[in-house]
């Protein structure tokens, strides 16, 4: 089967993008210890 190189690269870009989105969605959230408890400070 002869697959066009443009199809391969486009599919690769889509897979990488989807992986980044899935990784960002599923990674454990950082513990915002100093935020949200009234002090309003950023976690440095």
Partner 1 sequence: MSSPAESLQTIALIGNPNSGKTTLFNALTGSNQKVGNYSGVTVALKSGETYTPHGKKLRVLDLPGCYSLRASSPDEKVAVDILTGQVPGQPKPDLVVCVVDASNLERHLHLSLQVIELGIPVVIALNMVDMAEKSGLRLDPAKISEELGVPVVPMQANASKGLIELKQALRHPFPSIPEPHWATAPDEVEKARREFVMQICEVAARRPDAHQLTFSDKLDNYLLHPVYGWIIFAVTVFLVFWSIFSFAAIPMGWIESAQGIISGWVESTLREGDLRSLLVDGIIGGVGGVIVFLPQILLLFFFIGLLESSGYMARAAYLMDGVMSKAGLSGKAFLPLFSSFACAIPGVMATRTIDSAKERLVTIFVAPWMSCSARLPVYFLLVPLLMHEEEGNSWKQALVLAGIYAVGISTSFIVARLLRKKLGADKSINHFLLELPPYRAPQWGYIFRHVAERAWAFIAKAGTIILGLSILLWALSTYPKYDGDEADALEHSAMGRIGAVIEPAVKPLGFDGRIGTAILTSFAAREVFNSTLGVLFRVDESDDEVESRHTLRETIAAATWEDGKPIFTPLSIISLLVFYIYALQCLPTSAVVARESGSYKWAVGQFFFMSGFAYVAALLIFQTGKLFGY
Nearest distance in Å: CB 19, partner 1: 11
Q: Provide the 8-state DSSP code for 2.
A: -
Residue reference for tokens 């976690």: 43
Euclidean distance between the first and the last CA atom of the chain, given in angstroms as a whole number? 54
Nearest distance in Å: CB 28, partner 1: 16
Nearest distance in Å: CB 36, partner 1: 4
Q: Which residues bind partner 1 (CB under 8 A)?
A: 4-7, 9-11, 13-14, 17-18, 20-21, 33-36, 38-42, 44
Name the token pair of 24: 């960002």
């Amino acid at each position: 089967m002869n697959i066009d190189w443009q199809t391969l690269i486009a599919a690769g870009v889509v897979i990488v993008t989807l992986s980044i989105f899935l990784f960002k969605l599923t990674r454990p959230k950082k513990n915002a210890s100093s935020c949200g408890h009234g002090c309003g400070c950023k976690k440095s």
